[in-house]
């Protein structure tokens, strides 16, 4: 049985809005298809070994949490960049997208250096961007709507090497101006969408799992469809809450 090896970075510090639920979705969707999975929690002081994983996840946290992990994350940065270059799948949420970039200038004026797996930088704004959000995404030729909840003061700007995860249909997105949300580069996804994100976005979850399985097996993987009635209903409710037609 093929096992997908998942790294959960800083689960004790970066886990607001139920982001830990994203791990449950990934492991369950693997199990339902006959794959196994292992989840290794990596915290402050623990070593990150790229060869040990196929998927790396980092949830959201407040500025104080990001400051707590920033020095440790900087020490892990070379290994994390190596993992991204090797094709490991990444999903980094909210505070995660900020730390995946080159730098984050927080509200106090302190600069936190990111790991640089996404070509972007974030500067704290003066107004909080908050509320339901829906985006239209196109990744690896697949088009789908992604829904969630955003709550961030950071204004994120993409460089030329990253492309948006999606175009904003409702909400704010990366900043107050661009009308795009998230970032994709190699097999790395960064996004501000909480909620948690994956329970109501099965297409995005399966895209990430396809990348992780491709890394594990060195083969192109096609996942069988699941009975996603509950997930689709949750997705449709979120679309309606955002004021969009289904």
Q: At what angle do helices 202-217 and 229-241 cross, to 10 degrees?
A: 130
183 in helix, strand or coil? strand
Q: In this predicted structure, what is the pLDDT of residue 110?
A: 82
Annotation marks residue 94 as catalytic:
yes
Task: Determine the structural domain holding residue 217 and report its residue range.
Answer: 3-129+153-165+182-221
Ordered per-residue pLDDT tens for the chain, 246 residues: 899 999 999 998 888 777 889 999 999 999 999 999 999 999 999 999 999 999 999 998 777 777 788 889 999 999 999 999 999 999 999 989 999 999 998 888 888 899 999 999 999 999 999 999 999 999 998 999 999 999 999 999 999 999 999 999 999 999 999 999 999 999 999 999 988 999 999 999 999 999 999 999 999 889 999 999 999 999 998 888 877 765
- Is 67:32 a contact under the CB 8 Å cutoff? no
**Structure-token match 């976005």, residue found:** 201
Q: In this predicted structure, what is the pLDDT of residue 246?
A: 56
| 30 in a structural domain | yes
How many angstroms separate the Cα of 188 from the Cα of each of 108, 145, 235? 28, 18, 23
Dist. CA 105–CA 182, nearest whole Å: 18
The domain tally of the chain equals 1
Q: In this predicted structure, what is the pLDDT of residue 16?
A: 77
Q: In this predicted structure, what is the pLDDT of residue 175?
A: 97
What is the 8-class DSSP label of residue 34? T
H or E stretch at 67: helix 63-85
**From 13, 56, 94, 152, the catalytic residue:** 94
| 239 in a structural domain | no
| 242 in a structural domain | no
| 145 in a structural domain | no
| 88 in a structural domain | yes
- CATH code of 217's domain: 3.40.50.880
Name 4's bridge partners.
37
Dist. CA 138–CA 203, nearest whole Å: 11
Q: In this predicted structure, what is the pLDDT of residue 27?
A: 98
88 CA to centre of own chain: 13
**Dihedrals phi, psi of 41, to nearest 5 degrees:** -80, 125
| 42 in a structural domain | yes
Q: In this predicted structure, what is the pLDDT of residue 245?
A: 65
**From 13, 194, 215, 235, the catalytic residue:** 194
Where helices occur in 163-243 by DSSP H, the ranges are 202-217, 229-241
């Amino acid at each position: 049985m093929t096992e997908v090896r998942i790294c959960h970075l800083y689960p004790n510090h970066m886990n607001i809005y139920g982001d830990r639920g994203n791990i449950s979705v990934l492991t369950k969707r693997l199990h339902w298809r006959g794959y196994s999975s292992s989840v290794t929690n990596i915290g402050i002081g623990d070593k990150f070994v790229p060869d040990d994983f196929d998927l790396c996840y980092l949830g959201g946290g407040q500025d104080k949490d990001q400051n707590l992990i920033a020095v440790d994350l900087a020490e892990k940065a070379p290994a994390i960049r190596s993992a991204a270059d090797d094709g490991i799948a990444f999903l980094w949420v909210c505070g995660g997208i900020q730390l995946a970039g080159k730098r984050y200038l927080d509200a106090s004026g302190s600069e936190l250096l990111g790991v640089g797996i996404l070509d972007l930088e974030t500067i704290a704004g003066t107004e909080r961007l908050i509320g339901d959000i829906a985006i239209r995404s196109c990744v690896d030729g697949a088009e789908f709507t992604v829904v969630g909840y955003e709550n961030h003061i950071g204004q994120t700007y993409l460089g030329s090497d990253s492309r948006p995860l999606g175009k904003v249909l409702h909400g704010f997105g990366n900043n107050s101006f661009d009308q795009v949300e998230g970032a994709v580069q190699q097999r790395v996804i960064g996004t501000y969408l909480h909620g948690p994100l994956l329970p109501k976005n099965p297409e995005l979850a399966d895209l990430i799992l396809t990348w992780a399985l491709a890394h594990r097996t060195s083969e192109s993987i096609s996942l069988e469809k699941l009975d996603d009635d509950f997930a689709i209903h949750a997705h449709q409710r979120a679309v309606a809450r955002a004021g969009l037609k289904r």
